[in-house]
Amino acid sequence: MAKENNLLDSQYDENSIRSLDWKEHIRLRPGMYIGKLGDGSSPDDGIYVLIKEIIDNSIDEFVMGAGKTIEITLTDQKFQLRDYGRGIPLGKVVECVSKINTGGKYDSKAFQKSVGLNGVGTKAVNALSKSFSVQSFRDGKTKMAEFELGEITKDHKESATTEKNGTQFVFIPDETIFRNFHFRMEYIEKQIWNYVYLNTGLTIILNGKKYFSENGLKDLLERNTDESILYPIIHLKAHDIEIAMTHGTQYGEEYYSFVNGQYTTQGGTHQAAFREAVVKTIREFYKKDFDAADVRTSIVAALSVRIMEPVFESQTKTKLGSTMAAPEGPALRTWINDVVKTELDNYLHKNSETADILLKKILQSERERKEIAGIKKLANERAKKANIHNRKLRDCKVHYSDNNPLAPQTTLFITEGDSASGSITKAREVSTQGVFSLKGKPLNCFGLTKKIVYENEEFNLLQHALNIEDGIDGLRYNNIVIATDADVDGMHIRLLLMTFFLQFFPELVKNGHVYILQTPLFRVRNKHETIYCYDLNEKEAAIKKLGSKPEITRFKGLGEISPDEFAGFIGPNIRLDPVILSQESSIHQMLEYFMGKNTPDRQDFIIQNLKIEVDEVELEAAV
């Protein structure tokens, strides 16, 4: 009671009430505006949201018919964009990037099917940047303003120019907010390709390379599939909706869905409606009540819709929650179903060869599903027992599938051996980090059917820990981190796990969920300071910095690192290498090369790279 009285006695008057200005609020709560922060190792990290907010303004100009080219220059930490749209009205240049709820979309019918109408985008970029500048070129005049951390530092006067109309933005993210960040070109390129797929006729030039698409989502699927597709891509268009789809030989389902140009990586109501509509249309076309899973297994599809006033489930707009195509229009589900029913049905009637191939694929999926039904039931029972009786999985408290602001940051570490898993378990953040402990080396599953996932205890328990048995919609962890020793055995285990994911759950890799944990190779310390080094260059720099013959420890395995030390490597400063598939990669060919039977080509590859490994060992010994 005394404690309560003390709290009530605390001074509470007019001086206790404080109003934050726009930039203070953004900097204090950046997650409200751009989602998670991150260092650039994940495609949904905040620095890529900053880039998107700037590009979106130029896309709006293209949609309005002004400016068919966007030029972007990107270095490791600096982003620069020049478009050739109409240019921001010169008298509003400063307000448009520094005054919340200021923009040109509120009263424009042209922007009724735009993603963002809240006037926050460029302001968030400005507030979260170490340096930010905007320059507008309009009708022979130009106006420029420069900022630091959202504070204006130079408000240039209008002057004459011979430049073409348009706008230029330059920014460097604030490293105190985005710690140890750097842009990964693979993620930027994917963003750029999506922009040109969704805006045919638009040219984007990134660091001198030209990106352009003539056939929209058809081009997207062609670029993201290989020769293993079973029939030519079906490309369908109607008012405000575009669809491309085919079936491949991979397991699972793969979707690229967009709303008003926004890549909805987590899907949402539009994607759910499309999945339902495809099953319904195919059942009616073949007049057979196929199981939905048999129809959708191995599907690869892209969907783009434009709707009025979209409602998303988060500020970063990665999952659509809208149930209506417009405030007083048709239900989203009904609209998409009607379009798919009409267009896909017509296509299958006109293309009997494709219809025959699709039917064979569905029947094959049906046979495979029935073949493993009994094994799957037994495997599920084993998994339930294992969850009760062994400690392979040390779970976390919140999960990716939960509607929780912490959930997108949940992580599952896959470790080898008791000592390594024990160290990580003791050091982890229990609320968001789980640990799955492997027993020995996993099976090389290349060329095997999904039956093996249920017959093999390790794989069966791992898929249950991730909750991906029926696809990745129920994925319980956003980040799947392979944490193995940096030795030959550890590398082999990494390769075997990657084979498992790519063989049976490739969408986990394609959607950016899989990472490799970087752990330090060396600890260099003296009485005053300890430096952890991840490679030989960092080790040399640490020795030079500390001088006087510091103590040097070479970590041979994760089990040698104490839990107290480990906490620093899997906390806010965690270093992750994302597993990224290049657009040119064929998963089957890649796995055949590395995990199939020995070939002369692979022998040559090993011999050539063995020399590199030997050189590195000799260099380490010399140091």
Query: What would the mean pLDDT of 547-572 be, rounded to a whole number?
Result: 85
Q: What is the pLDDT of residue 420?
A: 76
The answer to whether residue 169 scores a pLDDT higher than 90 is yes
Q: What is the pLDDT of residue 560?
A: 80
- On whether residue 383 sits in a domain, the answer given is no
Q: What is the pLDDT of residue 360?
A: 96
Confidence of residue 357 (pLDDT cuts 50, 70, 90): very high
Better pLDDT: 393 or 117: 393
CA dist., res. 554 & res. 621, Å (int): 12
The pTM of this model reads 0.81
Q: What is the pLDDT of residue 13?
A: 58
58 and 31 share one domain: yes
Residue 429 belongs to what domain range?
A: 390-519+557-585
The answer to whether residue 616 scores a pLDDT higher than 50 is no
308 and 408 share one domain: no
Q: What is the pLDDT of residue 5?
A: 53
Confidence of residue 290 (pLDDT cuts 50, 70, 90): very high
The angle formed by the CA atoms of residues 283, 288 and 293, to the nearest 5 degrees, is 60
395 and 535 share one domain: no
Confidence of residue 247 (pLDDT cuts 50, 70, 90): very high
What Rg do the C-alpha atoms of the chain give, in angstroms?
27
Contacts of 483 (CB under 8 A, 6+ apart): 413, 414, 415, 420, 424, 517, 519, 558
Q: What is the pLDDT of residue 117?
A: 40
441 and 562 share one domain: yes
The answer to whether residue 159 scores a pLDDT higher than 90 is yes
Query: What would the mean pLDDT of 215-227 be, rounded to a whole number?
Result: 89
77 and 165 share one domain: yes
196 and 58 share one domain: yes
250 and 112 share one domain: no
Confidence of residue 221 (pLDDT cuts 50, 70, 90): very high
Q: What is the pLDDT of residue 39?
A: 85
- On whether residue 486 sits in a domain, the answer given is yes
- Which range, 182-186, 280-284, 466-470, has the best average confidence (pLDDT)? 280-284
pLDDT, the chain, mean: 84
348 and 305 share one domain: yes
Q: What is the pLDDT of residue 404?
A: 64
Domain boundary among 183, 211, 239: 211
Confidence of residue 279 (pLDDT cuts 50, 70, 90): very high
- On whether residue 162 sits in a domain, the answer given is yes
Q: What is the pLDDT of residue 118?
A: 40
Query: What would the mean pLDDT of 193-217 be, rounded to a whole number?
Result: 95
Domain boundary among 180, 211, 242: 211
Least confident of 116-120, 161-165, 204-208, 451-455: 116-120
- The secondary structure of 67-114, three-state, reads CCEEEEEECCCCEEEEECCCCCCHHHHHHHHHCCCCCCCCCCHHHCCC
- On whether residue 378 sits in a domain, the answer given is no
User: How many domains does one find in the chain?
Assistant: 5
309 and 265 share one domain: yes
The answer to whether residue 55 scores a pLDDT higher than 90 is yes
CA dist., res. 233 & res. 247, Å (int): 8
44 and 150 share one domain: yes
